[in-house]
A and B are shown apart, each in its own frame.
Chain A
């Protein structure tokens, strides 16, 4: 169980990115993390991984996250965390060396599925291929908790669809995904739970089965939670055209 208790994070200048976030994510869950730009999604993930200093407590199975258990967390980010000058084969060798539970078979299968070259430097890959490789590394590390921060930014729709299907097909029951994305409608059938961040706070937390029971879509839930004003665009346009 990944647990966040009263997690706070402020940047220089007092800009509060996370404000008393409480969240628990159990094994096997597929959680979508949603929120507007600047809501704190990336900051939250970086705090979990220990890449940022924070206030509050984050534990993994009641233990603080240290070098002893950090291998149970993996991370795929749209900023990419691979080494551009290295080949996929070199990455595999490094991961194999660093992460004792590295999933050799999964890595090979995903590389083959996405037809990625093993012996070319990653910098020679297309944007989509780079994203695919980033996610492949995160999935193959052998982690129990896989954190993904907008991993498909720049991938085409077919590519993304493929990935969702592959993900659902390969994940083992204990593997947990925390997926941050803006592609609400795309992932709503893939995730089991949606967590909404708004201005650094958890604004909503609901399972997709609850949504189904209530007969609401994920998009409706998000709009309600954010009190989205459907007519704000037309109002703004009216104002603008009225000025002219």
Chain B
């Protein structure tokens, strides 16, 4: 059962739809992040091997690139969702001009922050979800990277160039 989050959105705004779309976009972003990570990672792991006759053997001393380098660009979808969510307060604000001027009511409420809260709180919740999704994907992919890299072939600093995660 979905909790009633209507107080976080403008009155009459189809907030369930906004949540559904946000959830779907985050789901797609997570899938994109996963595959955007897995293919370069698999390519990096393949580089650890060489063919000796018909047998693939690990090249001694060869390492996979640090995690941020393999993961770079994987969060692009998540950032796109975040950007859309940052723009949502503008649409929420404009909602009060559609079909009427409910802005006149919202701007004369005794609760000073009610109008602001209803414009911003929903997208802020979505942004929190986006950050969680990003953290989840970073964790999941890192665990994948950590456990599926052949032993002894991790770089000395797996987090080198950590800023690359954000790209």
> Which residue numbers of A lie inside 8 Å of B, CB to CB?
49-51, 67-68, 70-71, 73, 75, 77, 79-86, 90, 94, 98-99, 123
Contacts and interface: CB of A to CB of B under 8 A. Distances in A.
B101 A83 contact: no
Given A68-B110, A90-B12, A94-B11, 13 more contacts: A49-B104, A49-B107, A49-B108, A50-B108, A51-B104, A75-B108, A77-B101, A79-B101, A81-B100, A81-B104, A82-B102, A83-B12, A86-B11
Contact of A70 (B98, B103, B110): B110
20 contacts: A49-B108, A50-B107, A51-B107, A67-B110, A67-B112, A70-B109, A71-B110, A73-B108, A77-B101, A77-B104, A80-B100, A81-B100, A81-B101, A83-B12, A84-B98, A85-B11, A85-B99, A86-B12, A98-B109, A98-B114
Contacts, number: 61
Contacts of B102: 80-83
Nearest to B7: A97
B73 to A, nearest CB: 40
Name the 8 nearest CB pairs between A and B, nearest first: A85-B12, A84-B99, A80-B100, A81-B104, A83-B12, A81-B105, A79-B101, A86-B12
A82 B105 CA distance: 7
Contacts of A84: 12, 98-100
B54 interface: no
Contacts of B12: 83-86, 90
Nearest to B101: A79
Interface residues of B, number: 18
A73 B100 CA distance: 20
Interface of B: 11-13, 98-105, 107-112, 114
Contacts of A81: 100-105
Nearest to B109: A98
B97 to A, nearest CB: 10
A240 B76 CA distance: 70
Contacts of B105: 75, 81-82
A178 to B, nearest CB: 15
Nearest to A78: B101
Contacts of B98: 84
B96 to A, nearest CB: 8
Contacts of A123: 99
Nearest to B113: A67
A195 to B, nearest CB: 22
Nearest to B114: A98
Nearest to B111: A98
A90 B109 contact: no
Nearest to B99: A84
Contact of A67 (B100, B104, B111): B111
